[in-house]
Structure 1
Amino acid sequence: MPRFRRCRQRGCHSMVQYPNHYCSKHFEHEAEYLAERKKWARKHSEQYKNKERHYNHKYNTVTRNRNDNRSEQYKFYRSKQWVGLRQATLDRDHYLCQYCKVIGKLTPNSKTVDHIVPIAYDQSLRDVKDNLVTICRKCHRQKTQWEQHYYGTGQNMTKRNVPEIKDIRRITILMYQN
């Protein structure tokens, strides 16, 4: 399926098919824009390569692998098993956010798969299909905040001894109460 984006001309709201940046009305600016991008990329390539390399190193070794438990979780998300579970969940839920669905809203093209009970709280549920659900970005942010408050998961937090909640409806209500 072809992808589209807006024309880069200020004030123009026409849609342009990738890889173009300007609509047919403003296409004369395309070559100039591409030349500017190449010029900028050449000028900044060395400088950004070093910064990106440093950022990725720090993120992968310090942030993601801050302890053995987190390191194991990261490895799981890179496994073939997770790829299969994720795709099966997306297909089952038809790429619709299940938390939005509870409140009567359809959010299509949700591509994130979430653990209902976070694996940081209960590692044994990481590969259980009934513990996986499709979620949109907005709900994922909201649910992550709720999980940190309820379960005590997250960086520099201590796990709480609370009962696991596996009902999406109940979680949605609790998420939006806070």
Structure 2
Amino acid sequence: MPRVRRCRQQGCHLMVEYPNHYCRRHFEHEAEYLASRQKWARSRDQQYQRKYNTVTRNRSEHKSKQYNFYRSRQWSRLRRNILERDNYLCKYCGAINIVTPAKTVDHIVPIEYDAGLRDDPNNLAVICYSCHRSKTDWEQIYYGTGQGNTLKKVPEIKNINQVIRHMKTLSPESS
């Protein structure tokens, strides 16, 4: 029996044999769909990856070491321990009495600012996507982290409640 799938045309429920994506009635869209898939695949080829790794991940020896740390067995174990310690719940949301599941482990004081705290469990907390996005934006303003920024000489904030307070004072919604 041949393998089949549903026609990609919205609202059409006819089945089509592999490798086609459209039924006879909508077959004129097949070439356009295949061209868009090839264009997408080409954009993610080895040259794309090499450029991304060179420009973003490994733009300096410091960033290269930082990236390699996140790929180490040490980080893998540490991350798992922190996730279990925090019960897979965002500590930043928890500080304002909201329960949010999360799988990201974040450095409270960014390792770009203080590399000595990179494997300190007291500097790590589980964080959800939206808090991580907000905190990253705040870190770029407060600490001067991120590509194209210069690190500032400011006191480290190691308490999650204080970080949240600072994030709220710098956010445009609080104005």
Q: Above 0.5 in TM-score? A: yes
Aligned twin of 1:97: 90
Aligned twin of 2:110: 118
How far the C-alpha of 1:51 sits from its partner, in A, is 1.5
> Unaligned 5+ residue runs, structure 2?
1-7, 23-29, 171-175
Q: What are the residue-to-residue correspondences of 1:147-158 with 2, within 5 Å? A: 147-158=139-150
Aligned twin of 1:135: 127
Which of 155, 172, 175 aligns to 2:167? It is: 175
From the superposition, tell whether residues 30 and 101 of structure 1 become closer, same or farther in structure 2 (CA, over 3 Å): farther
User: For 1:20-41, what per-residue CA distance to the aligned partner results, in whole angstroms no more than 9, with x for missing partners?
Assistant: xxxxxx9x5576899528x678
**Hey, what's the Cα distance between the residues in 1 that align with 2:104 and 2:126?**
6
From the superposition, tell whether residues 50 and 117 of structure 1 become closer, same or farther in structure 2 (CA, over 3 Å): same
Q: What are the residue-to-residue correspondences of 1:1-178 with 2, within 5 Å? A: 35-36=20-21, 46-53=38-45, 54-108=47-101, 110-178=102-170
How many residues end up aligned between the 2 structures?
Answer: 154
**Hey, what's the Cα distance between the residues in 1 that align with 2:70 and 2:61?**
15
How far the C-alpha of 1:94 sits from its partner, in A, is 0.7
How far the C-alpha of 1:64 sits from its partner, in A, is 1.1
Q: Using the aligned pairs only, state the percent identity.
A: 50
**Hey, what's the Cα distance between the residues in 2 that align with 1:174 and 1:34?**
55
**Hey, what's the Cα distance between the residues in 1 that align with 2:167 and 2:18?**
45
> Unaligned 5+ residue runs, structure 1?
1-7, 12-25
**Hey, what's the Cα distance between the residues in 2 that align with 1:103 and 1:30?**
51
Runs of 4+ in 1 over 3 A off after TM superposition: 28-35, 39-49
| Structure whose alpha-carbon radius of gyration is higher | 2
Which amino acid is 1:69 matched to?
Answer: H
- Relative to the length of structure 2, the TM-score reads 0.77
